[in-house]
Each structure stands twice: as structure tokens, then as C-alpha cells.
Structure 1
Amino acid sequence: MSRSARAIPLHALGPDALRQIDNVLFAEREREKLRAEKKANKYGAKRAEVDGIVFDSAAEARRWSVLKLEERAGLISGLERQVPYAITINGEHIAKWIADFRYVRDGQTVCEDVKGVRTPVYRLKAKLVQAIHGIRILETKA
């Protein structure tokens, strides 16, 4: 750091300076929210927020809420979201598939994907994930 640009501890700043910093940070967060909203999904899915988590679709957010209730009730355990699986063939990375949710039900690991549209790319990835990892994807309709 140069001599002219010394770090000043936050506690040394006055209330006006702290308010300005807070306003700048708030504006940056709001800009990020607007940017996220502007990115339109080509299939019409709208982003939704639950428990402070932003989901790619309202259907995925609703499913998360149901799975959280099931976890609290002890029906499932180890609930995770956005779990990546590599699609590697003959040592070469081809693609990756990201499970919307993964959890354990009745001793079995379940990989779940909330689907509104089953695209050709998704269908291919699902077959590859099953062949490579032995995972059968549970599809939940949006």
C-alpha cells in the first residue's frame, strides 16, 4: 500500500462516513438483485427466494420448502442442493450435470431435478449420469 493510501479503521470514521459506506453497499446489493432479475430464462422460469436462497425457478423453491419440512420430520436426511456430477469419458471431461437436490430417503441416496422442460441436452446428460455414476434421477414436474 502506498503512503497516500493508508487503511483507516472503520471505528475511526464518523457517522456521516459510515452512513455513506452503508449507502454504497446497499446500492451495490440492489444493483446485483436487478441484474439477476433482468437475466430472463428462455423457458419462462422466474427466480424465487426461500430461506435467503435464490432458486432458478419458483417450482424449485417450492420443492426445497417441502424437502426441508420432510427433513425436519425425519423422513429424509442430508439434504443438499446444487450438487455437481462430472461427466467424464475415457479420462476426458465432457460436461457436468448439477442435481437440484440430493438427500437420503429410506437408506437410499436420491438425486432430484425439478423439470419444467426436458431438453435434449438434459435427456442426454441424464443418460450419461446414469451410465457413469449409476444414478437414476428423480424428476419432479414444475
Structure 2
Amino acid sequence: MSLADFVSLPPAKKAAGNKYGAKKTRCAAGHIHDSASEAARCYELTMLERAGAICGLEQQPEFRFAVAGRPVMLENGQQARLRADFAYIEGGRKVVEDRKGMIVRDFPLRWALARALWPEIDFRVTKK
């Protein structure tokens, strides 16, 4: 490869990372989370479960949106969904929780749709 060929090469692409600076982090329970804040919350919830304050702790529960029995489809052919960080039972009621450093993009709309479609579930946002 000549120097001219080398100079004409396109620049190398940077590795994809989180645009908000969050780094994947392993919590004390061994799960990989999208941020240190989410990992810390997982540890808190794990301790609450061990103490008996909550039960049935789940990671990354997913809710697929459907209206009148028909799935809500996105333009790319995928079904619209909400993937939260945690779900658990507290006081006999299901709680779905998302840990947020900042609320961005379409999260408020997805959260509002989830609350309307599943009113029996307590949807919560916790901030770091």
C-alpha cells in the first residue's frame, strides 16, 4: 500500500458508546446494567427482596403495546414496546420501575401509554 493509498483511506470509526456517558456496570448480584446508577438500584432492590419488603424481582421486563387487540407497529416493522429496568411485587401490587439520569426522547410517551394500557401496575421512575 502506497502512502497515497493510505492517506485516501476513510477515517476509522469510533467504537459505539452511550451518548450520555453511561457505562455498562455489573451489580453485586452479577447482572450487567446500562449504567452504574441502574446497577446500584439493582443492589438496593436485591437487598429489599432479601429483607422481604418486595418479592419476584425481575430484570428488564418488556411490555408490548397493543390497542383494541391489535399490535402497535412501528414503521420498521417492529412492535412498539417498553422495556423497563425492573419489576417486582410490593404490598401485593406489581411495580415496574425505570432508573433515569435524565428523561429523553420518546420515554414520556411510552411511559404514559404503559400507564393507560396497564392501570393495575404501578409504573415508577427513580432518579439517581
Q: TM-score, normalised by structure 1?
A: 0.69
Q: Name the structure with the higher helix share.
A: 1
Contact 1:102 1:109 in 2 (8 A): yes
Structure number with greater Rg is 1
2:115 counterpart residue number: 130
- What CA distance in whole angstroms lies between the structure 2 residues aligned with 1:97 and 1:108? 19
1:140 paired with 2:118, answer no
Q: CA deviation at 1:89?
A: 2.4
- What CA distance in whole angstroms lies between the structure 1 residues aligned with 2:35 and 2:17? 11
Q: CA deviation at 1:132?
A: 1.2
1:92 counterpart residue number: 71
Q: TM-score, normalised by structure 2?
A: 0.76
Q: Deviations over 1:83-118 (max 9, x none)?
A: 000112240333100121101111111110001121
1:52 paired with 2:37, answer no
Runs of at least 4 residues of structure 1 off by over 2 A? none
Q: CA deviation at 1:76?
A: 0.5
Higher relative contact order (CA 8 A, sep 6+): 2
Letter in 2 for 1:92: P
- Of residues 100, 108, 120, the one that matches 2:93 is 108
- What CA distance in whole angstroms lies between the structure 1 residues aligned with 2:64 and 2:115? 12
Partner SS state of residue 44, structure 1: coil
Q: Which runs of 5+ in 1 are unaligned?
A: 1-37
- What CA distance in whole angstroms lies between the structure 1 residues aligned with 2:26 and 2:83? 19
2:106 counterpart residue number: 121
Partner SS state of residue 106, structure 2: helix
Contact 1:43 1:117 in 2 (8 A): no
Q: Which runs of 5+ in 2 are unaligned?
A: 1-14, 74-79
